[in-house]
Structure 1
Amino acid sequence: MIYNDTIVALATPSGAGAIAVIRLSGNEAIKIASGIFTSVSNKNLSHQKTHTVHLGHIMDGSRVIDEVLATVFKNPNSYTGEDVVEFSCHGSSFIQQEIIQLCLRKGCRMATAGEFTLRAFLNGKMDLSQAEAVADLIASDSEASHQLAIQQMRGGFSNEIKKLREELLNFASLIELELDFAEEDVEFANREEFQKLISKITHVLKRLIDSFATGNVLKNGIPVAIVGEPNVGKSTLLNALLNEERAIVSDIAGTTRDTIEDEISIGGISFRFIDTAGIRETTDTIEGLGIQRTFEKIKQSQVTIYLFDATVIRKKREKSQNIRTEIEKIRNRFPQKQLVVVANKVDQLEPSEINDLTSNINHLHLLSAKSGQGVEELKTILLEFVNTGALRNNDTIVTNTRHYDALLKALEEINKVQEGIDAGLSGDLMAIDIRQALYYFGEITGEITNDDLLGNIFANFCIGK
């Protein structure tokens, strides 16, 4: 791919709207824009200062396509580090395409996915982890995921990695220097200071690796499975949580035969609720498949809400023991999952019946999905399962799987270096592991990269970013 030509793309979502932005970037961006833009005050875009906005018309010969605002950004003070012009035009799909086609005829090339951000990376405007954060910021749909993306885009994570890499690189250089004087048997790298650095790097890497569990949840949302016997109000609870009629509700047992999913934000954290098929013995093949999928969803979820009908216990006292048995089955089958036991329809019970219920089943949450009683309290309970302390403290949190994988590999190499120190290995043997650790650090920030890696990362971007 050639990265010194001029590219063009729609920077706003496709389709009709009030305003659309068309972006040009490259050595000829201002020249091409000047050739199709006529200022109302007869200004030439090529002679204007950077970061200025100008009113005029896009002209195809003598034909007026649209009245637009042209914004000029001159290199290196632009998003891509190149000359950039953005046309803010009216949001007609026809106008958008007319302007883009005109730019193509004048010498632009259509940008590929993420190419503007790729050029920003190649021109040193941001490192690779910051570039990836741009995509995360665009995709963020909750306060938490937005905050994480902003933190990473500002360089919080990459700065920490760069500092570790720089310190390790300094020691690596000294150890490599020792190899040149092997016959003199000298040590340029202070082994005591080197040990301190390795311990520090190990501690930081472990902290970053451990943060991925929290970061992945905050970025992608927390899956919550709602399970229980048929007709206990699972779909009604889902509707109450979402505040809309998302799931079909009826008195017929087995109405929900497949999982239904939807998301809401609670306290800035995204939760993905999964309404599952009722768990019971059945000869219905389709319902049986739904029940099988219920257990799969429990396995995939981070939190499970076990819901039961509180009024059934009043009618059948033996049901209390059956419910406790089902709760223990789920706990034993999925011991790592957070479980919330919820009694539904408590608005139909007498105070004495509620007391009996809470005394028989520990850590029970009471609600009425139909009336909304206890629903907000349930949301609060769910929020308590999320570790938001690191987010509040503005700690570095890893959210990217590629970064997580590179950190694991870097830690593995650092552990080898530590083993070498403990065993008293020579510098040439330790240097191999140090180089490899430096390689994985460089992969995160983009100091070490290749075309395949860049292609995989930026292929997931939208065209105009």
Structure 2
Amino acid sequence: MTPTDTIVALASPSGAGAIAVIRVSGTDALKICNSVFKSIHGKDLMRQKSHTIHLGHIMDANKTLDQVLVSLFKGPHSYTGENVVEISCHGSPYIQQQIIQLLLRKGCRMAEAGEFTLRAFLNGKLDLSQAEAVADLISSENEASHQIAMQQMRGGFSNEIKLLRDELLNFASLIELELDFAEEDVEFADRSKFKELLNRIEEVLKRLLDSFAVGNVIKNGIPVAIVGEPNVGKSTLLNALLNEERAIVSEIAGTTRDAIEDELTIGGIGFRFIDTAGIRVTSDVVENIGIKKTFEKIGQAQVVLFLHSAEEFKNAEINLKSLQTEVGKIASKHPDKPLVILVNKIDILNKKERESLEQLLSHVEGSDFEIISAKTKEGIDNLKNRLLKFVNTGALRNNETIVTNTRHYDALLKALDEVQKVQFGMDNSIPGDLLAIDIRQALFHFGEITGEITSDDLLGNIFANFCIGK
């Protein structure tokens, strides 16, 4: 049921600022705001055109609370589809609260989290996937996550799903029609074209499902674990990547005892770097806890930077064998995890030693390698470029649909399962009434994504994660 009462909330961040925006939406939004607004030109807000701005004062009886700008958006041509008024006042928390309390006394109620966007969905201004993209847009922290959220909010993802659903629905209608004429033994649905449609839907669903692996890490940041023995320069590398003294650097082994995390945007993609405790045999109980966490972080990371010091390779033959053994251990435990060997402190090597080191590393199988100096930042840009290659940014450049929402991923997975059941039924000449059951289920899961099929519990879970005022 679409709500008809009038809600109010602070739409800008709480706290002091130059300007604050108070949003009002509902049937009586214009009437309530008009009762507390005194235009400097004597205008009646009820008589003004939509999408206009007016200067005046908010009055509590004869008391002036603030000089404000009032923006009018008459329904249905507004964000929520209702009458909406936005009051731009001065950013004093006292002023904000005084105006909101006045509006509450005049008949508004405080908006719940995400209620403005919920009303936009209920009034048909946005579908459910677009509404969820609003929250993603607000929380986007880099270019890539912003681009994905914008594409979804414009309807790119929902349009693709809607097109598939409409085509499937047309065939479903013909299958259902056949059931009404079962005794006549007629076929209204062209089975060959239906098979083509199912194959195309399967292909699109698999592409969307595959995109989730990229979309999820782009949305949440790509975790990168920096691991290695003590004193190989892990903390120095973290500081070089972040271009700030984030981690404590010391020649004392075991200085880093707990994982230190920080984020960096590279090429529009968010990376979350994790500086871990040095891996070694030690009797220190606290350090051993840190080392245990290091192995946990390797399991959680998308990429592992395996750091070594150039000093380790004085005996090339012994260290090559040792390095291959260590790489093999990590690769066997995490076969799908990109592993980059970093040889640090190359600033202490001469030209001949560097050439020898490069030749040595070229014989290590199962990994990439980079030669760097975290101290002088030599090779850091090459490392950043290599990290970017681990992310499939081609889909971003081509403006393809990328799935980032776990709920969407789950619905697509279930829809694919139902489509494959229909394909199996078609191949084995299963009766139309049984095909219709699986087709209805596929349509149901498509509808879950866009909100054509929904429930109060689902909407509650989604919009509870929004901020109040949006």
Q: Is the CA contact (8 Å cut-off) linking 2:2 and 2:119 kept in structure 1?
A: no
Question: Shift in Å at residue 248 of structure 1?
Answer: 0.9
Aligned to 2:124: 124
Alignment partners' CA distance in 2, 1:124 and 1:335: 47
Aligned to 1:416: 421
Q: Tell me the secondary structure at the aligned position of residue 375 of structure 2.
A: coil
- Percent identity, please: 69
Alignment partners' CA distance in 2, 1:274 and 1:101: 46
Q: Is the CA contact (8 Å cut-off) linking 1:324 and 1:361 kept in structure 2?
A: no
Q: Tell me the secondary structure at the aligned position of residue 335 of structure 1.
A: coil
Q: Tell me the secondary structure at the aligned position of residue 89 of structure 1.
A: strand
The aligned length equals 465
Structure-1-length-normalised TM-score: 0.98
Q: Is the CA contact (8 Å cut-off) linking 1:239 and 1:246 kept in structure 2?
A: yes
Alignment partners' CA distance in 1, 2:64 and 2:315: 78
Deviations 1:191-230 (CA, angstroms, capped at 9, x unpaired): 1111111111111111111111111122111110000001
Deviations 1:10-40 (CA, angstroms, capped at 9, x unpaired): 0000000011000000000000000011100
Q: Is the aligned partner of 1:379 residue 2:390?
A: no
**What amino acid sits opposite 2:409 in the alignment?**
Y
Q: Is the aligned partner of 1:396 residue 2:390?
A: no
Q: Within 5 Å, which residues of 2 pair with 1:352-363?
A: 352-362=352-362, 363=368
**1:345–1:317 Cα change, 3 Å:** farther
Q: Is the CA contact (8 Å cut-off) linking 1:226 and 1:234 kept in structure 2?
A: yes
Q: Within 5 Å, which residues of 2 pair with 1:221-236?
A: 221-236=221-236
Question: Shift in Å at residue 322 of structure 1?
Answer: 2.7
Alignment partners' CA distance in 1, 2:136 and 2:435: 37
Alignment partners' CA distance in 2, 1:360 and 1:454: 58
What is the RMSD computed on CA atoms of the aligned residues?
1.2
Q: Tell me the secondary structure at the aligned position of residue 207 of structure 1.
A: helix
Deviations 1:406-455 (CA, angstroms, capped at 9, x unpaired): 00000000011001101101110100000000000000000000000000
Q: Within 5 Å, which residues of 2 pair with 1:276-295?
A: 276-295=276-295
> Equivalent of 1:450, from 452, 455, 461?
455
Q: Is the CA contact (8 Å cut-off) linking 1:209 and 1:398 kept in structure 2?
A: yes
Structure 1 residue ranges without an equivalent (≥5) = none
Aligned to 1:133: 133
Aligned to 1:331: 331
Q: Is the aligned partner of 1:302 residue 2:302?
A: yes
Q: Tell me the secondary structure at the aligned position of residue 305 of structure 1.
A: strand
Q: Within 5 Å, which residues of 2 pair with 1:168-183?
A: 168-183=168-183
Aligned to 2:436: 431
Q: Is the aligned partner of 1:366 residue 2:371?
A: yes
Alignment partners' CA distance in 1, 2:408 and 2:424: 24
Alignment partners' CA distance in 2, 1:325 and 1:190: 60
> Equivalent of 1:461, from 437, 461, 466?
466
Alignment partners' CA distance in 2, 1:316 and 1:391: 43
Question: Shift in Å at residue 320 of structure 1?
Answer: 4.6
Alignment partners' CA distance in 2, 1:396 and 1:318: 49
Alignment partners' CA distance in 2, 1:367 and 1:160: 45
Structure 2 residue ranges without an equivalent (≥5) = 363-367
Aligned to 2:58: 58
Aligned to 2:77: 77
**What amino acid sits opposite 1:126 in the alignment?**
L
Aligned to 1:260: 260
Alignment partners' CA distance in 2, 1:176 and 1:9: 48
Q: Is the aligned partner of 1:406 residue 2:406?
A: no
Question: Shift in Å at residue 317 of structure 1?
Answer: 7.2
Q: Is the CA contact (8 Å cut-off) linking 2:2 and 2:123 kept in structure 1?
A: no
Q: Tell me the secondary structure at the aligned position of residue 249 of structure 1.
A: coil
When structure 1 is superposed on structure 2, of 400-409 and 363-372 the one drifting more is 363-372
Question: Shift in Å at residue 325 of structure 1?
Answer: 2.4
Question: Shift in Å at residue 315 of structure 1?
Answer: 7.8
